[in-house]
Copies of this chain bind each other. A is one copy, B any other.
Amino acid sequence: MRKINVVESVLQANDALARENRERMTRADLLAVNLMSAPGSGKTTLLEKTLPALAPEHACAVLVGDLQTTRDAERLGNLAAAVTQINTGQGCHLDAAQVAEGLRSLELADVDFLFIENVGNLVCPAAFDLGEHQRVVLLSTPEGDDKVAKYPTLFQLADAILLTKVDLLEVLEYNIGRVRDDLSRINTRAPLIELSSHSGQGLTEWLTWLRDQYAARGNAPGDRSAGTASSRARE
């Protein structure tokens, strides 16, 4: 049982740090959004559209997780008040300690939205609470319409699900009904937003969702730390 004990203690230590992150960010009156998806689902491209749209009213910051390279941070560098790259080496997900370190690079009091772009991985980020307030999972249409049923853990945790690259639907064999049907069995809480960063479809709906979460952020701070998030690894 030694291995399992160690894994449990790693997750418990992560959850404790995540709670601290969440309290810090809640006190700073910002909304932290954890973006998760398989590699190449369009997280960075979505941020390239989202940051300029929010910029007139809101200060945004980004923590970008990648195994290697600073390419994503470079793409976003001019679009946000602050962008920090976190390189995980061979690490398959961000953890709360890395985010805590990233937060030290930011003036949290000046930030309204903090986007945390997780490592591209549809499995491992599910077990690691980072202290975010909202979890957004992207699913791109070219990945196929069977992914919700095949990778349910992450979709179960999502507060919003973005079906990205819908501009490619005309050249793909894709059944959105199948995605909705699979979601009806595991997550009926999260809206499914059909989106294309390329054509602009769905961006208004996404921005409205973000602004609604920001407006509601003072209503129930800390709910998540006592509920789903801290127990997510053991569900």
Name A's B-contacting residues (CB within 8 A).
2-3, 6, 10, 38-40, 66-69, 71-72, 90, 92, 119-124, 126-127, 140, 142-144, 146-147, 149-153, 165, 168, 171
Q: Are B68 and A152 in contact (CB under 8 A)?
A: yes
> Across the interface, do A150 and B67 meet the contact criterion of CB distance under 8 Å?
yes
Q: Given A3-B6, A127-B90, A165-B142, does the pair A39, B153 have CB atoms closer than 8 Å?
A: no
- A67's partner among B10, B66, B92, B153 (CB-CB below 8 A) is B153
Does A150 contact B6, Cβ atoms closer than 8 Å? no
**Which 9 residue pairs spanning A and B have beta carbons closest together?**
A40-B143, A142-B142, A92-B123, A38-B39, A40-B144, A39-B122, A38-B38, A6-B6, A69-B149
| Contact assessment for A150 and B90 in the assembled complex, using a CB-CB cutoff below 8 Å | no
Q: Closest B-chain residue to A170, C-beta based?
A: B171
Give A218 Cβ to nearest chain B Cβ, in Å: 34
A40 CB to nearest B CB, Å: 3
Pick the contact of A147: B40, B122, B144, B153 (CB < 8 A). B40
Please name 29 pairs of A and B residues whose Cβ atoms are closer than 8 Å in the assembled complex, sorted by A.
A3-B10, A6-B6, A38-B39, A38-B122, A38-B143, A39-B150, A40-B142, A66-B150, A67-B150, A67-B152, A68-B149, A68-B151, A68-B152, A69-B146, A71-B150, A72-B150, A90-B127, A92-B92, A92-B121, A92-B123, A92-B124, A119-B123, A120-B151, A121-B121, A121-B124, A123-B124, A140-B142, A168-B171, A171-B171
